[in-house]
Structures are given as C-alpha cells and as structure tokens.
Structure 1
Amino acid sequence: MAGPRVTHGRLAVPRTGVRSWWGKAWQRAVEEAAYVEQDLRAGKALARRAEVGGISVAAGSLLAAVREGDDAWTVEVAVPVLSDDERRALVDVVAAEAGRIAALLAGELGHELVEHAEEAGVELLPYGGELAATCTCDAYLDPCRHAIAMLVQTGWLVDADPLVLFAVRGLDRESLLAALHERSTGATSSGSIGVADLADDVEVAADAMLRAQRLVALMEAGAELPEDLF
C-alpha cells in the first residue's frame, strides 16, 4: 500500500555539500539523466539559488514548483516503486542485522545493506533512465532544467535522510517500522532466534531519530552539544 505524501520545506544549499555515498549516487543518477550539459548546469544553478519550492514525496512520485525569473513551473518526476515481493525482501534485509533500522533513522545507509538488498533483487538507488520527468514548461527534453533542479534538491533530502529514498521507492518510514514490528511479533510467536534484537531495534528507533534531529538542529545553530544527547 502506498504511503502518505510528505512535503519537505524549501531547502537551502547544504553547508557541507552532499556528504554521503548514497547522496552522491543520487546526484550521479541526475547527471546521467540530463541530456544536455547546459540544462544540467542551469538546473544546478536553480537548485543553489533555492528556486525550488517544497518537495512533495510519495511512493513513485516527486512533485514541486520551480521558479525561474517571473515564472513558476510545476515539475513531477516518476520513480519506479518496489513490488510487494521486493518490499518484503527489503524489510528482511533491514531486519537481518541488529542496529540497521536505528542507523537508518539516524540518517545512515550502510553499504552492506544496499549490497544485500541488491543480492535479494532489490534496487534502492535509481539510475538516470528511471527518472521520468514532466514539467509545465515548453522544453522538449526530459528532464528539463526545472526537473533537474528539483532532482538535485531531492538528492539533498536523500543525503540527510536515506528513508526519503525508501519512501519514493514505496516503503515509507511508518510502513517500514510497522512491517518490522509485525515481522518481529510473528517471529517471536514462532520462537525464532535473534528476534529480541530486532524488537529492541524497533523500540529504540524513534528515540534514535529524535536524537539525530536534535543533534542536527544544534549543529546548524552553532550551539554547544549537551553531554546527555549521546
């Protein structure tokens, strides 16, 4: 079942740039998708100037308004969603090792998780040809510079929170946690080994997310970090 559409507020350029390997992989996909270098440069410039409005993320869909001069255009990008079997396989991969869900909610996407997902037939990171864009402008190339601007900023979201990538692929945060909880509950009743670790992960996940959010907010404000944050 598709999760809710979540709109992220207007973004500023990350002060430290794209930091993560998965964020850089998303940006490479955007560069692969661009047909014309001029459009790629123009799109990146629009993104840096914060001309992209709030980005709305749903299963298989990214939606935003992009300004250019006195005009504003509506951009939508379709991204393939995972099948039911692929979503179940991804949940199994996340549940396979203690600490993975807590790491995800703290903003970290491990290489091993993605590699194991690929071995299970699940492709998380998109490639350029999967990013199908439409825009209300009159450009004939897909993606146009407005779509590229939105995709660049989506990469900033993915860099900060890899679960944005999960959501656009069709497995949002709440659905992932619910599936992990259901899996752990069912496995507990059948006496499977290692379920206690998974249950603990699900219980502490929300706390890990809140701590990460507090840490980011304090760092951006330049405030001193309290010892009890860790």
Structure 2
Amino acid sequence: MTRHLHPRIAPRRSTARATTWWGKAWVRAVEESAFAHEDLAGARKLARSGRVGQIAVEEGGYYAAVEDEGGMVTVAGVLPVLDADGRATLVEVVAAEAGRIAALMSGELPHLLVEHADEAGVELLPYGGELGSACTCDAWADPCRHALAVLYQLAWLVEVDPFVLLHLRGLAREELLARLHEREQVPPEHADGDLESALDAALRAARLLELLDDPDSRVDHLL
C-alpha cells in the first residue's frame, strides 16, 4: 500500500471555493454528506484556519489531525477503491487517448476521461454517501465538522493534483505510470514472433533475388 503525506495547507483568508469542475464535484459530494449547514460553515472556517495537519492519503483512505478549541482530534476517512477489473479498465481509459496522461501530470482531469471511465463502469468522482469518516471527537454527527474540514482540504488537493483522487480510488500515481509503461512494451512472445516473421521474410527475399539472377529459373509464380 502506498501512503503519501501532503504538506500542511497554510491559513487562507478567502472562502477558497473550488474552481475546477472536478473540484466542484468533490465539494458537492462533501456537502451532500453533511447533516447541517452549520456543520459545513464551521468546517469551512476550520479548513481555512490552518489548523488541519498534514493529510496522509493511501488507497481507500485518508488521515489527519485537526486542532480546535477543545484540543487535538484525529480524523480517519474512507473512499471505496476500484477492484482489480476497475483499475485495469481505468488504465485502458487513460491510455485510450493521446494526451490524457500528460493532462493528469500537469494537474488537469479531462472531462472525457471521467465520462468514458463512467461509461465503462468505473466511477471516479465520489458522491456523498461514499465519504465515510470517523473522528476522535464526541460529536454525534458523521461526518463531524473536523472530518468535513479535512474533506474540504482534500478538495483543494484534488484540484491541484487529480492523482490524489486516483490514489484514493486505489490507483496511486506510481502504479498507474508503471501499468501504462508495461502496456506500451511489446510482450516477449510477440517480439519473438515478429523477429521470426521478419527473418523468414528476409530469407524469402534473398531466395527470390537468387532466382531472378538465374536466367534458367521460372519465377513467374513468385511475382
């Protein structure tokens, strides 16, 4: 399992709302998961305050410490991961169109990539009910405002780097790049077959040239 610890996000004065279409989709899921508008308002304030610690992301989960008036609490969240077939399908979707991996590397999430993945049965962007969480605070709501604050900050991370979303879904950057590299390689058995075919063609061509140089040879059937 690959775990990545993201740098702590400094305090922000603005509302710091999502600006990309995929960031807005993430925020919509966060707000769908909340029980009350008051929880969201408190979470946004907490997320902007700089009191959320570094967020650790791994396949299917995230963790962070959050400080508030009552002290320090720990948030642990989950997001369903793609199964083996889903991960394989996602690799094929990324590889299906030139420029998609370059877009991801530059911090973009192509809309058609997500759309085609969805058509293939692979959902990347979450909905509210998928954002499970637990917190060491004593709030009855799930998610509590601490978990919502971490989820808001995750939206900012996902906006800057869509690989964070793929990582949460079970396909870390390193694994995706490795699978794409393997996909581009010619399997050894195919490479051997190609070599044998090329060698056979060369031998046939050489034999044909020999026959053409012999005036007594009948080569009409070979032309």
Q: TM-score range by the shorter chain?
A: 0.7 to 0.9
Structure 2 stretches of 5 or more lacking a match?
Answer: 192-223
Q: What is residue 99 of structure 2 aligned with on the other side?
A: 99
Runs of 4+ in 1 over 6 A off after TM superposition: none
User: Does the 8 Å contact 1:104/1:163 carry over to 2?
Assistant: yes
Between 14-23 and 79-88, the greater mean CA deviation after superposition: 14-23
User: Does the 8 Å contact 2:60/2:78 carry over to 1?
Assistant: yes
2:95 and 2:112 map into 1 onto residues whose CA distance is: 13
| Cα pair distance change 1:44/1:17, threshold 3 Å | closer
Q: What is residue 163 of structure 2 aligned with on the other side?
A: 163
Query: Cα distance, 1:9 vs. partner?
Result: 1.2
Q: What is residue 5 of structure 1 aligned with on the other side?
A: 3
Which residue identity does 1:8 align to in structure 2?
H
Look up the SS of the partner of 2:185 in the other structure: helix
Query: Cα distance, 1:99 vs. partner?
Result: 0.9
Structure 1 stretches of 5 or more lacking a match?
Answer: 192-230
Between 167-176 and 5-14, the greater mean CA deviation after superposition: 5-14
Q: What is residue 208 of structure 1 aligned with on the other side?
A: none
Query: Cα distance, 1:119 vs. partner?
Result: 0.6
1:180 and 1:43 map into 2 onto residues whose CA distance is: 38
Kindly name which structure, 1 or 2, has the bigger radius of gyration based on alpha carbons. 2
Q: What is residue 202 of structure 2 aligned with on the other side?
A: none
1:9 and 1:75 map into 2 onto residues whose CA distance is: 16
2:73 and 2:40 map into 1 onto residues whose CA distance is: 17
1:187 and 1:119 map into 2 onto residues whose CA distance is: 29
User: Does the 8 Å contact 2:73/2:137 carry over to 1?
Assistant: yes
2:183 and 2:66 map into 1 onto residues whose CA distance is: 41
User: Does the 8 Å contact 2:13/2:48 carry over to 1?
Assistant: no
2:137 and 2:86 map into 1 onto residues whose CA distance is: 35
Query: Cα distance, 1:190 vs. partner?
Result: 4.7
Using the aligned pairs only, state the percent identity: 56
1:17 and 1:41 map into 2 onto residues whose CA distance is: 12
CA RMSD in angstroms, aligned pairs only: 1.7
1:154 and 1:178 map into 2 onto residues whose CA distance is: 25
Which residue identity does 1:9 align to in structure 2?
P
User: Does the 8 Å contact 1:60/1:168 carry over to 2?
Assistant: yes
1:180 and 1:90 map into 2 onto residues whose CA distance is: 10
Q: What is residue 218 of structure 1 aligned with on the other side?
A: none
| Cα pair distance change 1:14/1:108, threshold 3 Å | farther
| Cα pair distance change 1:126/1:188, threshold 3 Å | farther
Tell whether 2:69 aligns with 1:69: yes
Query: Cα distance, 1:70 vs. partner?
Result: 5.0
Look up the SS of the partner of 2:43 in the other structure: helix
| Cα pair distance change 1:14/1:84, threshold 3 Å | farther
User: Does the 8 Å contact 1:14/1:156 carry over to 2?
Assistant: no
| Cα pair distance change 1:107/1:188, threshold 3 Å | farther
User: Does the 8 Å contact 1:94/1:100 carry over to 2?
Assistant: yes
| Cα pair distance change 1:119/1:154, threshold 3 Å | same
| Cα pair distance change 1:19/1:169, threshold 3 Å | same
Q: How many residues align?
A: 189
2:188 and 2:151 map into 1 onto residues whose CA distance is: 41
Query: Cα distance, 1:186 vs. partner?
Result: 3.8
Q: What is residue 174 of structure 1 aligned with on the other side?
A: 174
Between 16-25 and 92-101, the greater mean CA deviation after superposition: 16-25
Which residue identity does 1:7 align to in structure 2?
L
* Structure-1-length-normalised TM-score: 0.78
1:91 and 1:9 map into 2 onto residues whose CA distance is: 28
2:45 and 2:96 map into 1 onto residues whose CA distance is: 41
